[in-house]
Amino acid sequence: MTKLDVLVAGVGGQGTLVASDILAEVGLRAGFDVKKSDVLGLSVRGGSVLSHVRWGRDVASPVVRKGGVDVLLAFEPLEAVRGVEFLRQAGVALVNTQPQPPVSVTNGGGVYPPLEDVRRILEGVASSVVFVDATPAAVKAGSAKAANVVMLGAFSTLTEVPSAVWEAVILERVPERFRALNEAAFRAGVALMKGGGRS
C-alpha cells in the first residue's frame, strides 16, 4: 500500500472528527506523509461532517478530488450517499447501518432513503459495499457513542497497519475510564469484518 485516501462522513456528535484524527495519526505512525481536512459548516450539532484523510508518500492537497477516495467510511447511511461523489470506481464503502434521520425528515417533508437504495447507489461505484452493524456492537461494548471506534476497527482490517498501532493511538486519546470500552469497541469492529455481523 503506497497511498490511501479516505472520506469520513458522519453527523455532528458522532465522533467523526475524533475518528478522522485517529486515522491521520495512525497513518503518520505507519510511516506515511499525512494530510486531513475537516468541513463542519456551522458549528451547530446535528449537521453533516466531512473529513478528508490522506496517507501517501508526499501528499500535496488536504482535499481529495471527487472520484478519488479509496474508502468511504460512513458513520450514517444518508451521509454515505452524500459522500458518494468522492468515491473512486471500484473503491470500498464501509457504512454503519444505523440511520440518524435529520430534522427535515422527522419534522418535515424530507424522505429518508431506504437502506436498499443506499446500497444500490454505493454499489454503482464501489467494488465492495460493507454494511456494518456498528451501533449494536458499540452498545454491547458499553456505549452507543463508541460506534465510531467500532467503525475504525472495521476499517483497520482493510489496511496493513497492525492492530497494536491502532489501539495505541485510540487509547492515547481517551480518558482512563473509557479505555476498556474503546478497546472492546475496536476489537468488535475487527471481529465484525472477519466474522458475522456484516450485512
Partner 1 sequence: MTRALLSGNEAIARGAYEAGVEVATGYPGTPSSEILETVAKQYGKAIYAEWSTNEKVAMDAAAGAAYSGRRVLVTTKQVGVNVLSDSLLYAVYTGVEAGLVVVTADDPGMFSSQNEQDNRWYARLAKIPLLEPADSQEAKDFVILGIELSERFDTPVLIRTTMRVSHSRSVVTLGERPGRPTNVGPFIRNQEKYVCTAMWAKRRHPMVEQRIRDLASYAESTLVNQVLWRDRALGIITSGVVHAYAREVFPQASFLKLGMTYPLPERLLRSFAQGVKRLIVLEELDPFLEEQIRALGIDVTGKALFPPCDELLPDRLAEIAEAARLPGVVKPLRSAPVPAGLPTRTPLLCAGCPHRSTFYLLAQMKLPVAGDIGCYNLGCLPPFNAQHTMGCMGASIGVLHGMSIAGIPERAVATIGDSTFFHSGLPALVNMVHNQSRGVVILMDNGTTAMTGHQDHPGTGWSLRAPQAPRVEFEPLIRAMGVTKVVSVNAFDIAEVERGLEDCLSHDGPSVLITKGLCAQLNRSPASSYHVREEVCVACGTCFLLGCPAIVRSEARGRADRPKARIDATLCVGCDHCRQVCPTGAIVTEGPTGKEDRR
Which has the closest alpha carbon to 103: 145, 39, 48? Answer: 48
| Interface size with partner 1, residues (CB under 8 A) | 53
The residue written with cell numbers 418535515 in the block is: 108
Residue 10 or 189 with smaller CB distance to partner 1: 10
Tell whether residue 106 is a contact of partner 1 (CB under 8 A): yes
Give the SS3 label for residue 149. helix
Q: At what angle do helices 179-194 and 163-172 cross, to 10 degrees?
A: 150
Closest distance between partner 1 and the C-beta of residue 118, in Å?
A: 10
Closest distance between partner 1 and the C-beta of residue 178, in Å?
A: 18
* Residue 35 CA neighbour count, 13 Å, CB half: 10
Residue 93 or 132 with smaller CB distance to partner 1: 93
CA distances from residue 123 to 101, 120, 195 in whole angstroms, order as listed: 22, 5, 22
Tell whether residue 112 is a contact of partner 1 (CB under 8 A): yes
In the complex, the residues that contact partner 1 under the rule CB under 8 A are: 11, 21, 24-25, 28, 33-48, 59-63, 65-68, 78, 81-82, 84-89, 101-107, 110-113, 121, 124-125
